[in-house]
Amino acid sequence: MAKGPGRLGKGLAALLDEMGTAPLATATNSVPVDLIDPNPRQPRQDFDEARLEELAQSVRERGILQPLLLRPGAAGRYEIVAGERRWRAAQRAGLHEVPAIVRPFDDAATFEAAIIENVQRADLNPLEEADAYNRLAAEFGHTQETIARLTGKARSHIANLLRLLDLPRNAQAAVRSGQVSLGIAKLALSAPDPDLFVREAVAKGFSVRQAEAWLAAAGRRAAAAKARAKPVDPDLVALETGLSEALGLAVSIRQGPAFGELVIRYQTLDQLDEVIARLQG
């Protein structure tokens, strides 16, 4: 089989390096398309038809620029570790062989590599990407620093996306379906009621700036409601009731830290005259 220089994405190259393989010295083989099988544990099961056709057109014009990563299978066949979209596009483009690097990955490493490749794809939504980081941490024991090295992402980006998994289920569903952007999703984390905030953002088509303004207004309303909900003094309530009955008008008493207010509400000038007459004795 023909061989040439290998080319890998940053994350998969880092994974090979972690396994003790030197990826830059790895030769690329030409492997028949019909001897390759997809990975049954591929994390991504849905392949966007329009994007796949675009990739197939690119393959027709320029070939496959990045080799597939394969592992040996049974009876002389190969199983995809990374690059299923390229393999599918090659089939559509009518290629008989594809460039590939063959390495003896075990089941765990195969699954890990598949997750990493999915993370590096631009069409993952924020929650899918967060799920992938969470799986790398939970199933393979990777720290955020290690995940950053394997995927080529900033550690802060990984930490921020992992926080999205704390959102309520309905809010997460809106992010997964693409109804709200990553910026809106991050703001939802600081909202008193994330589900309500996300529903408003979807219904009104908020930009990030509009969402920030809505949250600020909601915060002011919550603060005002909290101030109004201070414990009621039963003595003041009794006094208000007695004065209201004596005057035949609504009376409220507000006691602040430095001063208080006595408010008497009247509807007509006659009622005002009566109150004034009583005060003047």
Q: Which of 84, 112, 117, 129 is catalytic?
A: 84
- Which class for 135: exposed (0-12), middle (13-18), buried (19 or more C-beta within 10 A)? middle
Strand runs labelled E in the chain: 3-5, 27-32, 36-37, 68-72, 78-82, 97-102, 250-255, 260-265
Token pair 């309303």 is at which residue? Answer: 221
CA atoms of 211 and 275, how far apart (whole Å): 49
Tokens of 4: 């040439």
DSSP 8-state class, residue 255: E
Is residue 164 within 8 Å of 189, Cβ to Cβ?
Answer: yes
Q: Is the dihedral of CA 179, 185, 190, 193 positive or negative?
A: positive
Position 125: which residue type? N
Active site residue 84: yes
Tokens of 121: 């794809």
Polymer length in residues for the chain: 281
Residue 34 to residues 58, 77, 86, 104, Cα–Cα distance (Å): 20, 9, 14, 20
| Residues labelled catalytic | 84
